[in-house]
C-alpha cells in the first residue's frame, strides 16, 4: 500500500488562486512584488510533541471502521484473515537518511509505544529488522510507482529484493497469515515534512490496516491526505490491533465478535455495541476521485472527473467528507479556469467540514484558499481573520507547510494594512516553518513569491 502524492497538499497552488472571484486572467498578467528573503533563512522549526484528540465517534462505529480497514485492501480485494507482528517489532533505516528523518522516526516510535502500546524499537546495528525503511531518490521510486510518494511491501527487506519479487505471490497481501518482514520505501530528497508524513502513514500500515477509507475525517487512513501524522483514532485502531484479545489468523467474524468488549476496555467513553456496518463507497465515485487527483491525467480530464465525483456524491445524498473532498478537488482544478466555481466549491466544502465533528483540519485547508481569495481582493482584514481562525488547529496537526502558508498570507495582509514591523515578524515565523514544510530555499522562495503575487493583485483591486 502506498501514500499518494500530496493530492490534498493545500495551498501549494496559491499562485493560481491569485485570480479574483470576479474574473480570470493569465498568470503572467500578475507581477509579484519581489519578496526579499534573508541570505540565511531562520532555523528550521520543529514540533515538540503531538496534541492527541481522542476519537469522537461511538465504539460501535469505530468497530465497523476497524473491520473495513483490517479486512480490505484499497483496491477492494478482501483479506481473509487479520495479520500483525506477533512479538516485539524492530525498525531499521537504510540509505542516506537525513538527521531530521531520524529524529522524526524516534518521536514516532515513542508515540507508538506510549499511545498504541506496541513494543517497537530500533533494531541493533547490523541486525535484521521487522520493518526496514529504505531511503532512495524520489525519481527512482516514482519510476517504478509513479503516483506514490512512498509505499510499504510485505515479505521484503530491501529495494533490490522488492524489485525481484514485485508482483509475485510473496508480496501479495492477501496471502499473508502473519507479518514477519516489511519494507517501506520513501524518498530522501524531499521536504522534511513529506518524509515525516511517509514515516507515519507507512509505518502505521506496516503494523496495522492497509486500507484507506474516504469517509474517515480523523485519520491518516484516508487518501485525502489532510491528516499527515497519526491521530487519536489511528492510535486506538493500532492499540486494538495489538491487543491480547486478537491474534494473526483470525477471521473477520472472529474479530467482530471480540471488538465490542475490546473497544469498551480501550475506549470507555465510546460505549459498547455491535460493529456498525457502513455502506461501501461506490467504485464509480472512487475512480472519479482517483482521476481528479492523479498527476498523470490531463487537466481537462481531471476537471471532468472532479465534477463527476461531486455529482455522484450529491446523487448518493452525502453531506459528509466525501462530498466535501470532491468539492475541494473541483475547486483546486478550477483555479485559473473558472474562479467563481473554485470559490463556490471551497466555500461549500468549508461549510460541510465545519459541520462535521473532527474535521477542523479539513476546514483549515479550505480556509487557506478563502484567505488567499480575500487577500487577492484587497480585503486584508478578512484574510487575517480567516487565518487566525485556523492557526491553532494547524499547529496541533503539525502541518508546517500549511502553517507557513497561513502565516505568509497573514504577513502580506498586515503589510497591506501598513503594519510593516508586525508583518516582518510574522514572515520570519513563516519562514522557519516553511523550511520544514517545503524544504529547499528555492521552494521556500517560490511559495513566498506566489503569496506576494496574490497580495499584489489585492493592492491593485
Domain assignment present for 276: no
Residues 41, 129 within the same domain: no
Its pTM surpasses 0.75: yes
Domain residues for the domain of 416 are: 2-46+281-460
Q: What is the pLDDT of residue 116?
A: 97
Q: What is the pLDDT of residue 373?
A: 94
Confidence of residue 23 (pLDDT cuts 50, 70, 90): very low
Domain assignment present for 22: yes
Among candidate residues 270, 297, 324, the one where a domain is terminated: 270
Q: What is the CATH number of the domain that holds 202?
A: 3.40.390.10
Among candidate residues 221, 237, 270, the one where a domain is terminated: 270
Q: Please state whether beta strands 148-154 and 89-95 pair in parallel, antiparallel, or not at all (unpaired).
A: unpaired
Which helix (H) or strand (E) segment holds residue 183: the answer is strand 182-187
Beta bridge partners of 89: 120
Residues in the chain: 461
Residues 63, 147 within the same domain: yes
Return mean pLDDT, the chain. Answer: 90
For residue 381, what is its C-alpha cell?
482584514
Model confidence over 382-437: pLDDT tens digits? 999 999 999 999 999 999 999 999 999 999 999 999 999 999 999 999 999 999 99
Residues 305, 183 within the same domain: no
Checking if the pLDDT of 27 tops 70, the result is no
Domain assignment present for 51: no
Model confidence over 163-180: pLDDT tens digits? 999 999 999 999 999 999
For residue 1, what is its C-alpha cell?
500500500
Domain count, the chain: 2
- Range scoring the smallest mean pLDDT among 148-162, 372-386, 409-423, 439-453: 439-453
Please give the residue that has the higher pLDDT: either 461 or 415: 415
Residues 320, 418 within the same domain: yes
DSSP state letters, 317-386:
T--SHHHHHHHHHHHHHHTTT-HHHHHHHHHHHHHHHHHSTT-HHHHHHHHHHHHHHHHHTT-HHHHHHH
Residues 16, 151 within the same domain: no
Domain assignment present for 83: yes
- CB-CB contact of 330 with 307 (8 Å): yes
Residue 125: Cβ within 10 Å count: 6
Checking if the pLDDT of 249 tops 80, the result is yes
For residue 265, what is its C-alpha cell?
476496555
> What is the distance between the alpha carbons of residues 243 and 219, in angstroms, rounded to a whole number?
20
Q: What is the pLDDT of residue 415?
A: 96
For residue 30, what is its C-alpha cell?
500578475
Residue 248: Cβ within 10 Å count: 15
> What is the distance between the alpha carbons of residues 296 and 277, in angstroms, rounded to a whole number?
35
Domain assignment present for 52: no
Model confidence over 59-86: pLDDT tens digits? 999 999 999 999 999 888 999 999 999 9
Residues 317, 453 within the same domain: yes
DSSP state letters, 251-295:
-HHHHHHHHHHHHHHH-GGG---SPPP-PPPPHHHHHHHHHHH-S
Q: What is the CATH number of the domain that holds 308?
A: 1.25.40.10
Q: What is the pLDDT of residue 41?
A: 78
For residue 210, what is its C-alpha cell?
492497509
Nearest 5°: the CA angle 269, 273, 279 is 110
Q: What is the pLDDT of residue 272?
A: 87
Checking if the pLDDT of 303 tops 70, the result is yes
Domain assignment present for 180: yes
Sequence-ordered strand ranges (E) for 97-159 = 120-122, 131-136, 148-154
- CB-CB contact of 100 with 106 (8 Å): no
Q: What is the pLDDT of residue 15?
A: 35
What lies within 8 Å, CB to CB, of 441 at 6+ separation is 37, 41
Residues 249, 376 within the same domain: no
Q: How many CA atoms lie within 13 A of 390 on its CB side?
A: 33
What is the SS3 assignment for 227? coil
H and E: helices and strands count for the chain: 16, 6
Checking if the pLDDT of 350 tops 90, the result is yes
Amino acid at each position: 500500500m502506498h501514500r499518494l502524492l500530496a493530492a490534498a497538499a493545500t495551498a501549494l497552488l496559491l499562485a493560481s488562486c491569485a485570480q479574483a472571484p470576479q474574473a480570470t486572467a493569465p498568470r503572467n498578467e500578475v507581477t509579484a512584488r519581489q519578496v526579499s528573503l534573508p541570505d540565511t533563512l531562520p532555523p528550521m522549526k520543529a514540533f515538540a510533541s503531538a496534541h492527541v484528540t481522542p476519537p469522537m465517534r461511538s465504539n460501535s462505529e469505530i468497530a465497523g471502521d476497524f473491520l473495513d480497514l483490517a479486512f480490505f485492501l484499497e483496491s477492494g480485494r478482501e483479506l481473509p484473515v487479520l495479520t500483525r507482528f506477533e512479538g516485539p517489532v524492530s525498525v531499521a533505516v537504510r540509505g542516506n537518511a537525513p538527521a531530521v528523518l531520524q529524529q522524526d522516526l524516534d518521536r514516532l516510535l515513542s508515540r507508538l509505544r506510549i499511545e498504541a502500546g506496541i513494543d517497537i524499537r530500533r533494531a541493533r546495528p547490523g541486525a535484521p529488522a521487522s520493518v526496514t525503511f529504505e531511503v532512495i531518490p524520489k525519481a527512482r521510486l516514482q519510476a517504478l510507482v509513479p503516483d506514490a510518494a512512498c509505499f510499504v511491501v510485505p515479505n521484503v527487506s530491501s529495494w533490490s529484493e522488492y524489485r525481484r519479487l514485485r508482483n509475485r505471490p510473496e508480496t501479495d497481501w492477501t496471502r499473508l497469515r502473519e507479518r514477519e518482514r516489511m519494507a517501506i520505501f520513501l524518498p530522501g530528497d524531499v521536504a522534511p515534512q513529506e518524509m515525516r508524513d511517509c514515516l507515519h502513514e507507512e509505518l502505521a500500515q506496516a503494523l496495522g490496516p492497509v486500507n484507506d477509507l474516504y469517509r474517515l475525517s480523523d485519520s491518516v487512513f484516508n487518501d485525502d491526505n489532510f491528516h499527515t501524522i497519526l491521530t487519536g483514532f489511528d492510535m486506538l485502531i493500532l492499540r486494538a490491533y495489538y491487543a491480547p484479545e486478537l491474534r494473526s489468523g483470525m477471521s473477520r467474524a472472529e474479530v467482530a465478535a471480540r471488538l465490542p468488549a475490546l473497544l469498551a476496555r480501550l475506549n470507555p467513553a465510546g460505549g459498547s455495541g455491535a460493529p456498525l456496518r457502513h455502506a461501501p463507497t461506490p467504485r464509480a465515485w472512487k475512480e472519479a476521485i482517483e482521476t481528479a487527483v492523479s498527476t498523470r491525467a490531463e487537466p481537462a480530464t481531471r476537471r471532468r472527473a472532479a465534477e463527476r465525483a461531486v455529482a455522484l456524491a450529491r446523487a448518493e445524498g452525502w453531506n459528509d467528507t466525501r462530498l466535501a473532498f470532491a468539492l475541494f478537488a473541483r475547486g483546486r482544478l478550477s483555479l485559473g479556469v473558472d474562479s467563481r466555481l473554485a470559490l463556490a466549491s471551497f466555500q461549500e466544502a468549508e461549510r460541510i467540514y465545519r459541520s462535521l465533528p473532527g474535521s477542523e483540519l479539513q476546514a483549515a485547508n479550505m480556509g487557506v484558499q478563502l484567505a488567499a481569495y480575500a487577500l487577492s481582493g484587497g480585503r486584508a482584514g478578512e484574510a487575517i481573520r480567516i487565518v487566525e481562525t485556523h492557526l491553532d488547529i494547524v499547529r496541533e496537526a503539525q502541518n508546517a507547510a500549511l502553517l507557513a502558508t497561513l502565516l505568509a498570507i497573514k504577513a502580506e495582509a498586515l503589510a497591506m494594512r501598513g503594519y510593516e514591523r508586525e508583518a516582518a515578524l510574522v514572515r520570519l515565523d513563516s519562514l522557519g516553518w516553511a523550511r520544514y514544510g517545503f524544504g529547499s530555499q528555492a521552494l521556500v522562495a517560490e511559495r513566498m513569491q506566489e503569496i506576494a503575487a496574490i497580495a499584489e493583485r489585492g493592492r491593485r483591486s
